[in-house]
Structure 1
Amino acid sequence: SNGTHDEVDKSRLPEFVPSQLGNRWVSLAALVEQIESAFIEEYSHDSVELAEADTPSKRLKLVLETANYVISVESVQLSPTEKADIISRTYSSLFGYGPLDALFSDDTITTISLEDADKASVRHGQGDLVSIGPIFQNAEHYQRIISRLVADAGAELRPDQPYLELGLKIGDRLIAVNLVAPPITIQLNVDIRLHSKQLPTWDALIQSGFMTAEAAQLLKALIASDHGLLIIGEPESGKTTLLNLLMNELPNPEQVISVERAGETRLPTGMQRLIAKWPVGDMPAVSFGEQIIHALEQKSSCILLDEVRADEPQTIAPLLQMVDAPRQIWSFRGAIFAKRLQNALGMLARRAEVGGGEALIRPLYERLPFVIAVNRVGGQLRLWSIGEWQFKHNPDYPTYVSLMQVENGQLKRTGEPASRPLSLDNDFWSRD
């Protein structure tokens, strides 16, 4: 058998500690479950003591009291390390996110992928997903922890809502949760993206090879202009990272509204955010499209969208139909190659127009003239190209003109200048 199977089996093996009474051995996991059950029995939902324990340290004190009681009844011998481990596991299971807590606090982890209770994988940095074996006690434990995560993100697990896309802040990290449940899938699958605690700086992104200094100069000129921008890429290719960087450079953030599906961005001070809401209890949902309409009613100078998808054309129709629409910056999930992008955008504009006409095609290209593509290549996030839709050959249909693109692994200027005004010197455009 290969190594991974051995590891998986090992992670399921209980660790045993001796009990004083004869030679009964007690597994640590069983002890945690016992303390948990005793705690739940003692502090029911209407417990005054639990309600008053409104800080982590007060709750920890209650857990400690219950643990001491169970440990003495069971006459278990524990080293200080084992006891601390048991208390921390019990607390985490009762009030935190169980085995996910340790993963959330690991700054190197960027993705956690869960397939039911049995399979867990993580991505460190920009590497590949690596299996870490089962981390939940059983299906009930998994369901309970995921339900808590979903509730904290303002939604609930329910049969009529088998797909959820959520965001929340855990400690200093913004976390995006994508969840697919039965009946869409056989099992409950959860993908969790963890953003870094700090916004990456321009310098850090240049040093890491995400972009060049010239690309940073062009991006800063684009964000300082009043032109619309489209950031495009596949899932987990760096769109949100780039959007975060750009939105923090926007002039007059208090006149900007960010409309988001999951609330994954770090807003600059003064910027307003509208997030799509899932139905909870009797409260109805507020869709991404409805939040776009609310944003347009507020007469802002710029609207950010994170993210637009090809399968929801009606959501973007108001942005293209409105006569004096605000500046728009979209994050768009899709293919980054010009031909496929042009097909996808053309289709989006036709499907957004009732009757499928051509009326919204030109507004789409005029309102989002610059395209910034990001890509994940060999485990590395890269700024892939910056281009512009130019109407120089045909007044009705634009040509995609690449201003910068990756050639032989290097992001280079193509020698083509932008047709719209930007605060850059003319000699900026000379070919690399």
Structure 2
Amino acid sequence: MSADLVERVRRRLAVGRVELTPAAVAEAVRDEAGGVLGDAEVLSALTLLRQEFVGAGPLDPLLADPDTTDVLVTGPADVWVDGAQGLRRTAVTFPDEAAVRRLAQRLAVAAGRRLDEAVPCVDGWLPGSGPSGRIRLHAVLPPIAAAGTCLSLRVLRPAIHDLDELRARGTFDTRTATLLRAIVTSRLAFLVVGGTGSGKTTLLAALLGCVPHTERVLCVEDAGELQPNHPQVVRLVARPANIEGAGEVPVRELVRQALRMRPDRIVVGEVRGAEVCDLLATLNTGHDGGAGTLHANSPTEVPARLEALAALGGLDRTALHSQLAAAVQVVLHMRRAPNGTRHLAEIGVFHRTPTTVEVHTAWHHVHGPQEAWPTLQSLLDRPH
């Protein structure tokens, strides 16, 4: 089937007002071809055209794979997938650069965004949800993307595993699982840190499942991933501005709203902006046992990372360290190996110096207890 015929059918369907059913597409194909196509050719055309108008087109099978975390398109013949086996190139291809651009623009419209020469970059959420989870869209058009349209789709699946499942997967051993439960039941405030795709949200959800069922947990998120196995979880999900720039409800506002909802523990799914100021203020006013995740490559980088985020909310370095020293006790560092496996690499505790707060290692997945182990034990043994 010629590219010219596919293009004519595409244009016919794009300007038409009929519902895009298989029968309607097949009729358009036969009409444009003058009725000379056989059933096999019509079926081939249906497959090609479905990719133009429905879902994520040729990327749908990749997104449906339960192991997929990211689908990345850097060119018509450069489609990559990230997941349990790490980043790898796939056999999926597009006919040409124009097909990649059309898919990116169609997905942008579905996300309520604009993507064209005037607005060459887009970031948004695709509508709907299902077994594949929510999908975050990012796309960049030429000439900003010098080699051609770049499309990135991140699959955010519900974080529903418990500690026993993570232990069985090798994230940590039985003794460490007992330690993690003790951190939660002792009402220590903690941050789960690590790089992108390291399993931070998965561990956080599992730990929230250990919170006593007599306590009410308020989860504030940007993406709505946390689904802990707990009977008293209230989930608040931020909302971006619409295409007119109105209607935004940021995470920071939701943290403030959560305070009015009788929380026993407040959790921020990912601390990435000025909301860190409100979270630290909350943890310093009697709401102990709170938690959150944070992008950081190591525990020692956490104070500096929090400094940068607090500056966005008008909190200076001295005030940040003062609040941090009293608000958070533990850092859990997740790491992703090159083969895609994820494990708990380190547990740290915050240590106050005369002017700042540092993170000292209490436990390491290879070497076991470290210099700050007695400090962690004393935190676990304190009355709560």
Given that residues 257 and 274 in structure 1 are in contact (C-alpha distance below 8 angstroms), is that contact kept between their aligned partners in structure 2? no
Task: Note closer, same or farther for the CA distance 1:321–1:192 as it changes in structure 2 (3 Å cut).
Answer: same
Counterpart of 2:207 in structure 1 is: 246
Given that residues 390 and 419 in structure 1 are in contact (C-alpha distance below 8 angstroms), is that contact kept between their aligned partners in structure 2? no
Given that residues 231 and 374 in structure 1 are in contact (C-alpha distance below 8 angstroms), is that contact kept between their aligned partners in structure 2? yes
1:306 partnered with 2:269? yes
Counterpart of 2:24 in structure 1 is: 62
Paired residue for 1:290, among 250, 253, 258?
A: 253
1:181 partnered with 2:146? no
Paired residue for 2:304, among 343, 347, 357?
A: 343
Given that residues 156 and 280 in structure 1 are in contact (C-alpha distance below 8 angstroms), is that contact kept between their aligned partners in structure 2? yes
Deviation by residue 1:328-360 (Cα, 9 ceiling, x = unmatched): 31110112142x333333555567554x25123
Deviation at 1:325, TM superposition (A): 5.9
Given that residues 173 and 197 in structure 1 are in contact (C-alpha distance below 8 angstroms), is that contact kept between their aligned partners in structure 2? no
CA distance in 2, matches of 1:253, 1:150: 43
1:384 partnered with 2:357? no
1:420 partnered with 2:379? yes
Counterpart of 1:105 in structure 2 is: 64
Deviation at 1:249, TM superposition (A): 4.0
CA distance in 2, matches of 1:290, 1:198: 23
SS at match of 1:407: coil
Counterpart of 2:359 in structure 1 is: 400
CA distance in 2, matches of 1:320, 1:165: 28
SS at match of 2:10: helix
Given that residues 111 and 125 in structure 2 are in contact (C-alpha distance below 8 angstroms), is that contact kept between their aligned partners in structure 1? yes
Structural mapping, 1:31-50, within 5 Å: 31-41=5-15, 43-44=16-17, 47=18, 50=19
CA distance in 2, matches of 1:254, 1:154: 38
Task: Note closer, same or farther for the CA distance 1:386–1:169 as it changes in structure 2 (3 Å cut).
Answer: farther
SS at match of 1:307: coil
Structural mapping, 1:78-227, within 5 Å: 78-79=39-40, 83-115=42-74, 117=76, 119-130=78-89, 132=91, 135-157=93-115, 159=118, 162=121, 164=123, 166=125, 169-179=128-138, 181=140, 185-186=145-146, 188-195=149-156, 199-227=160-188
Given that residues 200 and 334 in structure 2 are in contact (C-alpha distance below 8 angstroms), is that contact kept between their aligned partners in structure 1? yes
Q: CA RMSD in A?
A: 3.7
CA distance in 1, matches of 2:105, 2:228: 27
CA distance in 1, matches of 2:156, 2:228: 14
SS at match of 2:14: helix
SS at match of 2:319: coil
Given that residues 254 and 271 in structure 1 are in contact (C-alpha distance below 8 angstroms), is that contact kept between their aligned partners in structure 2? no
Given that residues 308 and 331 in structure 1 are in contact (C-alpha distance below 8 angstroms), is that contact kept between their aligned partners in structure 2? yes
Deviation by residue 1:219-278 (Cα, 9 ceiling, x = unmatched): 233333432210101112221222333344444599433322333334656522222413
CA distance in 1, matches of 2:221, 2:76: 30
Given that residues 299 and 331 in structure 2 are in contact (C-alpha distance below 8 angstroms), is that contact kept between their aligned partners in structure 1? no
Deviation at 1:371, TM superposition (A): 0.7
1:272 partnered with 2:235? yes
Given that residues 262 and 276 in structure 1 are in contact (C-alpha distance below 8 angstroms), is that contact kept between their aligned partners in structure 2? no
SS at match of 1:326: coil
Counterpart of 2:277 in structure 1 is: 317
- AA aligned to 2:154 is R
Deviation by residue 1:277-333 (Cα, 9 ceiling, x = unmatched): 133235343333333334345453333223223xx3x33222233562634311101
CA distance in 2, matches of 1:117, 1:237: 29
Given that residues 158 and 227 in structure 2 are in contact (C-alpha distance below 8 angstroms), is that contact kept between their aligned partners in structure 1? no
Task: Note closer, same or farther for the CA distance 1:220–1:147 as it changes in structure 2 (3 Å cut).
Answer: farther
Given that residues 280 and 324 in structure 2 are in contact (C-alpha distance below 8 angstroms), is that contact kept between their aligned partners in structure 1? yes
Counterpart of 1:428 in structure 2 is: none
SS at match of 1:191: strand
Q: Which runs of 5+ in 2 are unaligned?
A: none
Task: Note closer, same or farther for the CA distance 1:349–1:94 as it changes in structure 2 (3 Å cut).
Answer: closer
Deviation at 1:63, TM superposition (A): 3.2
Task: Note closer, same or farther for the CA distance 1:132–1:367 as it changes in structure 2 (3 Å cut).
Answer: farther
CA distance in 2, matches of 1:69, 1:227: 69
Q: Identity of aligned pairs, percent? A: 21
Task: Note closer, same or farther for the CA distance 1:152–1:40 as it changes in structure 2 (3 Å cut).
Answer: closer
Q: Which runs of 5+ in 1 are unaligned?
A: 1-25, 54-58, 424-432
Task: Note closer, same or farther for the CA distance 1:61–1:326 as it changes in structure 2 (3 Å cut).
Answer: farther
SS at match of 2:271: strand
Counterpart of 1:13 in structure 2 is: none
Which gives a bigger RCO, structure 1 or 2 (Cα 8 Å, sep 6+)? 2
Task: Note closer, same or farther for the CA distance 1:341–1:121 as it changes in structure 2 (3 Å cut).
Answer: same
- The structure with the largest alpha-carbon Rg is 1
CA distance in 2, matches of 1:99, 1:298: 44
CA distance in 2, matches of 1:389, 1:404: 13
Q: TM-score, normalised by structure 2?
A: 0.79
Counterpart of 2:320 in structure 1 is: 360
Structural mapping, 1:1-12, within 5 Å: none
1:332 partnered with 2:294? yes
SS at match of 2:379: coil
- AA aligned to 1:367 is A
SS at match of 2:226: coil
